[in-house]
Amino acid sequence: MSGLIESAAAILSASESRLEVAAHNVSNISTPGFKRQIGFSQLLNARGTDRVASGAQQVTVRRDFAQGKLSPSTNPLDIAISGAGFFQLRAGDTMIYSRQGQFSRAADGTVVTPQGYVLQQAGGGDLVIDNAQVSVLEDGTVLDKGVPVARLAAFAPADPAALQPVGETAFSLPGGSMDAVPDATFRQGMIENSNVSVGDEMVTMMTALRQSEGGARLVQVYDDLLGRALSTLGQSGK
């Protein structure tokens, strides 16, 4: 009967993990560039045999990199990527990648995110501008008073699943490389919203709650069976 408790514990743990993932998504529904998390259940061979142990289950979290809705902004340094790809940002000596295109001009002329990450230009190097009133063409060309001064590029990994989160909206690729996206399209004065859908998260929450109810019923079944066994043993001992 111990298998019932193992199964119930696995179901309750998985449902709790799914609820946490859905709650995290909802809390970031207003975070520009946030990518929704999706929980997948995996069965694990916890006993080292060919038979998968019942109840040996965990939830693996993956990211949904689908593009969010683009919304207009009054900041000329807000830039969105239409289609695939990420901005390349410098965080100290490390390169990270994000779709959160909210930028501003720092005192040294670099273009930075709210977190202080420095936007990189095509070919490498910090993007430095003399003023914030530059124009960004769809091909990434940066114009200052009509004169090209730099060019942006979008980057993408061969395997998006290999990206590791850095905070809520940025990612790194340890030991890997990112390739430039050909014909990337940039939208100046636009912000990419989170791709979280309240409806999808509500469905996930309801499914997780029903799973937890199933786990609770297994515990109740175990309790009833244990009670009957003890009662039978008590009567046979008389």
Alpha carbon distances (Å) from 3 to 41, 51, 146, 191:
19, 14, 72, 51
Domain boundaries, given as residue ranges, for the chain? 2-66+196-236, 70-192
Instruction: Name the DSSP class of 162.
Output: G
Q: What is the pLDDT of residue 220?
A: 67
Question: Coil, strand or helix: which one is 219?
Answer: helix
> What is the full per-residue pLDDT of the chain (238 aa) written as tens digits?
456 666 666 667 778 888 899 999 999 999 999 999 988 765 444 444 444 444 455 678 889 999 999 999 999 999 999 999 999 999 999 999 999 999 999 999 999 999 999 999 999 999 999 998 999 999 999 999 999 999 999 999 989 989 999 999 999 998 888 999 998 999 999 999 999 999 999 888 888 777 777 666 666 666 666 666 666 766 665 5
Q: What is the pLDDT of residue 219?
A: 64
Q: What is the pLDDT of residue 54?
A: 46
- What's the predicted TM-score (pTM) here? 0.79
Q: What is the pLDDT of residue 49?
A: 42
Question: How many helices and strands (H and E) does the chain possess?
Answer: 2, 18
Contact 228, 32 (CB under 8 A): no
